[in-house]
Each structure stands twice: as C-alpha cells, then as structure tokens.
Chain A
C-alpha cells in the first residue's frame, strides 16, 4: 500500500486543487475570524467560551476544506476518468481507497493545522487590538491547534468515503458544505430539542475535539474517538461501494 500512498500524495501535489483548497480555507478563516473578532461587541467576546468560538473558526473551516480535499481526491478522478488508469495499475480497489484515506488525512491534517494557526493568531491579534483580555491559556491554544489538525484529518477521511459512495463531484461538494454550514448548525444550535443529538453529529464532534463550547459539546478525547468511528465507517462504506461497482 506504500506505493499507492506515494502515488496519491503525488496526485495531490501535482495539480492546483490542494493549493486552491488551502488558499480558500485560509482566506475564509481570516475573513471569519476578523469579522467576529473585530465586528462583535466587546461584551460578547469577553468570556473563554466566546473567545474559543472565534478562534475555533480555524478548526471548523479547516475540517470543511479537508473534507472537500478528501472527497475531490476520488470524485476528481471519476470526473476526469483518471480512476480508470488508477484501477488498471491497482485493480485491488480497496488499496486505492485506503491510500486516498491516508493521503487525504495527512494533507487535510496539515491544512487543518494551518487554518487553526492562522485563526489563533488572527483572533488573538484582533482581541488585543481592541483591548479585550485574552482569557485563553497555553492548554487552550494547544487544543485548538492539535484538535484542528485532528478534526481536519478525520474529516478528510470522511470526505474520501463520501466521495467514493456518491462519486459525482458536485453533489458531494454541495452535500458536505450544506451539512456543515446549515444542517448541523440547526441541529446543534438553534433547535434546542435536538441539540442532545446534535452534539454527536460529526461537525460538532470536530468542534469538540478542539475544545470549543465545553458546556454543550463532548469532551475532546471522547469526541475524537467518535469522529474516528465516523471516519472508519465512511472509509468502509467507500471501499465497499468502490469494489462492488463498475467503473464506467
């Protein structure tokens, strides 16, 4: 599988897709963090939980773009037909999916880390500029960064699995964005009755891993274990879907 992993990493390096996704993630992180950090009234930014929420935009957007990166690693091959030469060279398709999971987790994890570092830096700077006391300690920052990387790596794996099941690029990409930006927002936040369920949703688990909203969300370690289960389930579903269907 090492050969396939090296091939997948070269595939990610040799087009502009990964760099485009990284640029998109970082741009949106900067926009979101500065919008919140500079735009919200000072009294809404004083507490630890509020500050974690602002700096946690790095994790959230990092995870979303990592999921897109994972999904496109397979839907892009379907779209351009390169899935055919890929499967001709490696007819054991499970190996291809596994290599995509690991390669995307690696690259996606890096993307998540970069997004989290940027969010932490820009968010802290915005608070300081406005003279707001930063309530976060070293442990909070460490969790934001490590959790941001871990959540993005796991979400990248989920993206690969989803992409392998759906195969069509546009519905996969739209589905991931719609789920994280709208559907989960309703589940976790605004609809009180479902928030008990909502904190087990994969996007909320990603936020929990980076230590956000500890009152409502699960503990980071538990959240990481559960999100890993989602990732494994997605990878297994993607493998089954890929090995059983024709490539046309």
Chain B
C-alpha cells in the first residue's frame, strides 16, 4: 500500500511553533482531509497526566504528561531503561501509578468494560507458554474475552501464521513470536494499539507489512503508540513522537516539526537524550 508512504512525504504543518514541548499534538491532517464530514471534537484516546512510578528509590516514570488523539500514530522513543515499557504497563493497568493518571478512553484500563475490544498490546516480553500452540494461545484469550473462535483464524491469517498455528511456540523464531503477539493484540479488533518494539526480529517483508498495517489502522481512525529504537523505521511510520529519558518526557512534537531544516530524527533524538552528536 504505497498510499501510506506517499502521504508521509507531504509536508504536514507549516506553523512556526517550536519543534519541542508541544503538549497536545493534533490528529493527522490527512485523516481529516479524507473524512467527508467534520468529526465532533472527542476526548483524547490516551490521556496521561503527571504520571509517576517509583520502585523504591528508583523513579522509573517522573511526572509525565501527554495525550493522544484518535487516528494518530505516535512514536515512543528513549534509551533502554528510560521508562517506555513502564509507562505502557501503567497505561495497561498491569502496574499501579505512584502518582498521576494513565487513562485510556477516559478511564483506567482496569475499569474498561471490554478491554480486549478496545485496546490491543504487543509487549516486548513475548508472553507465550512455550509448550502451547499459537492457535491455543489465541483461543485461551478469545474464550476469556468472549470473542468468537472464527476470529482466531482471521488474525492467524492476518499475520500469516496459519501454517505454523498448531505448532508449539517454543519452535518459533523471534519474528514468528512477534507476529503471534500482534495477532493476540488484534484479536478483539481494538481501536487503540500499544506496540513495544514490534519490529524486533521481523524480516524486511515483515517490517514492511507492519508499517503498512499501522498506516492503514490509523487511516481508519485507530490510534497507535509504538515504542522503538529503529529511528529510520519510526520516521517512516509515525506522525508525532514522544521522547522519554530518565523517566521524564523531554520532547513531544510532530515529526515534521522536529525534523525541520534538514535534521534527521536521529540527530534530534541524540541531542535530546544526550547521546553522541
């Protein structure tokens, strides 16, 4: 789907605001251009306010505030241990904040009525039982979420794992595990996706597929927060970025604003996180 890439090359925003420290970034202009009628203003899909998480003396997430609108793809960048995964765990209700709020669709994740149908997540930890087949892994989740079993076959086809679906996960390559994780995230046909290093271990065709998928997902109004170290890939995929370092949000900006004046995303990233310049 070349549509996604061709859109990315178009200039998005001509405003002269500072590239850094924009708190609320607007939804994709292309999405609005495509929509035949103006959409009513909606609450942000993800709303993080003064979010803090301490583990003993360690402050993993430190007073982080951002929000994400529907139809946006946001890159979540930062060095290892910067607090990306912790922020995702807090948003997903797997960890409790020490302070502040992490809301999805205006509520804490644990208060959502039917979370699997609203939010999908691929976590970096690759959470499968090695002795269980991919199909059974998805069936256990589908049963608990009361999703029809035909949907298991659909997502297996979507990530092209049908042929290996009845094999135990222990024989899977890293890329196959990533695709199974994505299949699990998509099981409930959610509106919001959290992807933690989803391109890890994917082959070039898989990376291309993922990029196309994410673009199409946002095109249909879906919202994506994707953490990644692959800056060149991020630059092709996202509308806006959040940069986190030592638990603090150091930049929130539209991609095209950040990379004005011929700077690459890598230049900006290294400058913000104190890496080699």
Contact = CB atoms under 8 A, between A and B. Distances in A.
Contacts of A92: 110
Interface stretch (A56-64, A74-82, A178-186): A74-82
Interface string B92-122: 1111100000000000011110011001010
Contact of B123 (A4, A16, A80, A84): A84
B33 interface: no
A247 B184 contact: no
Interface stretch (B38-46, B136-144, B208-216): B136-144
Contacts of B119: 88
Nearest to A247: B94
Contacts of A191: none
Interface in A68-95: 76-77, 80-92
B131 interface: yes
A15 B110 CA distance: 28
Contact of A16 (B93, B131, B144): B131
A114 to B, nearest CB: 22
A10 B93 contact: no
Contacts of B112: 91
B258 to A, nearest CB: 31
A3 B145 contact: yes
Contacts of A86: 140-141, 144
Interface string B72-105: 0000000000000000010011111000000000
A64 B110 CA distance: 35
Contacts of A17: 131
Interface of B: 89, 92-96, 109-112, 115-116, 119, 121, 123, 125-133, 136-137, 139-141, 143-146, 184
Interface of A: 3-4, 6-7, 10-11, 14-17, 76-77, 80-92, 246-248
27 contacts: A3-B146, A10-B136, A11-B132, A14-B133, A14-B136, A15-B129, A15-B131, A17-B131, A76-B129, A80-B127, A80-B128, A80-B129, A81-B127, A82-B127, A84-B125, A84-B127, A85-B127, A85-B141, A85-B184, A87-B94, A88-B92, A91-B111, A91-B115, A92-B110, A246-B89, A247-B94, A248-B95
